[in-house]
């Protein structure tokens, strides 16, 4: 589906308004970054933003969201431990398997 957007002025910058249907379809949120790919004409994609690109407020909010949406209990594939009977180093997997570490 193609949407037409109008370029407006916002302070000293240009701005575009994104139609609500597009916002909903792609799950866009205020403050998210979009990447402009002008090699493909004018084409936007969601950008992966590193912490180095964020302001301190954006980083703090990203941390809050990560904590809010994390699992209650971390999931591990295995735990490494010492076997009490043999003093060997072993891995105990979440599915119950046990293997000796060499």
Task: Note the pLDDT tens digit of each residue in 62-91.
Answer: 888 888 877 766 677 888 999 999 999 999
Strand partners, 13: 10
How confident is the model at residue 22, as a pLDDT? 83
Residues of the chain with CATH 2.10.260.10: 7-68
36 touches 44 (CB < 8 A): yes
pTM of the model: 0.38
**CATH code for the part of the protein at 7-68:** 2.10.260.10
3-state secondary structure at position 32: coil
Query: Six-digit token pair at 18?
Result: 């994104």
The phi and psi torsions of 57 (rounded to 5 degrees) equal -70, -40
């Amino acid at each position: 589906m193609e949407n037409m957007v109008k370029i407006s002025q916002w302070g000293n910058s240009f701005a575009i308004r994104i139609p609500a249907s597009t916002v909903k379809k792609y799950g866009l949120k205020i403050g998210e970054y979009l990447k402009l790919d002008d090699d493909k004409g004018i084409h936007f994609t969601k950008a992966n933003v590193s912490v180095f690109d964020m302001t301190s407020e954006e980083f703090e909010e990203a941390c809050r969201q990560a904590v809010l949406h994390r699992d209650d209990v971390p999931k591990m594939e295995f735990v490494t431990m010492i076997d009490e009977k043999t003093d060997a180093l072993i891995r105990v997997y979440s599915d119950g398997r046990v293997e000796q570490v060499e």
